Amino acid sequence: MPTAFESELIETIPDLHRFAHKLTGERSAAEDLVQDCLERALCNMDKFQPGTNLQAWLMTILRNLFFTERRRSRICSFCELGDNDRAIPPAQPWHVALQEVGEAMDRLAPERRDLVDMVVMEGAAYQDAAARLGIPVGTIRSRLARVREQIRGNLEHRQPTRRPAARPSA
């Protein structure tokens, strides 16, 4: 059997819904707000002073919950992604390094770039690459060694973009 507090609480639910809908403007958000308000009221019913206005107490809780949530959403706004939305990954150091390697490979001669594509990207064994190109396996190894050195050199000798140092004023 519900207590007097619970009975009076149940009677105020329609008024709470109206007030919450007026604050939020959305039915589902209003329902969530009322539910949070009722939960807070039931957890803190020992703090309610009998003989005072329960509806005013509940409306205050509801209003405070609403404004607290609005403040919180302004501080950390959330964005829901749909099924077709894709997040753009940040430019991590490995991503930048991979881009630099790609640029260094673009500076290779086409036949050297094709050899790297065949062995590194396609995963062809040295023997298979040698058979496809009609050259000995040792030649494949030496060409790949020279290509690696050229890529390493391209990466080491690239000029980082820096702002010129400010000249001291006289």
Domain containing 13 — which CATH number?
1.10.1740.10
* 41 lies in some domain: yes
Chain segment 88-104, per-residue pLDDT in tens: 655 577 777 778 888 88
Residue 47 counted as domain residue: yes
Q: Residues 71, 36: one domain? A: yes
Please indicate, yes or no, whether residues 62 and 16 belong to a single structural domain of this protein.
Answer: yes
Q: What is the b/e burial string over 37-51, where b = at least 16 CB atoms within 10 angstroms of the residue's CB?
A: bbeebeeeeeeeeee
CATH of the domain at 125: 1.10.10.10
For the entire predicted model, the pTM comes to: 0.44
Report, as an integer, the average pLDDT of 45-70: 90
Flag whether 84 is in a domain.
Answer: no
The answer to whether position 17 is within a domain reads: yes
Give me the helix-helix angle, 4-11 and 27-43, nearest 10°.
170
pLDDT for position 167: 52
Domain boundary among 12, 47, 75: 75
Instruction: Please indicate, yes or no, whether residues 51 and 101 belong to a single structural domain of this protein.
Output: no
Q: Is residue 88 part of a domain?
A: no
Domain of residue 67, residue span: 4-75
Indicate whether 114 belongs to any domain: yes
Give the least confident one: 27-31, 143-147, 161-165. 161-165
pLDDT value for 76: 60
In a domain, 70, yes or no: yes
User: For the purposes of burial, counting CB atoms within 10 Å of the CB of 33, is it exposed (0-12), middle (13-18) or buried (19 or more)?
Assistant: buried
Number of domains in the chain: 2
Domain final position from 45, 75, 105: 75
Looking up tokens 């958000």 gives: 29
Q: Are residues 69 and 32 in the same domain?
A: yes
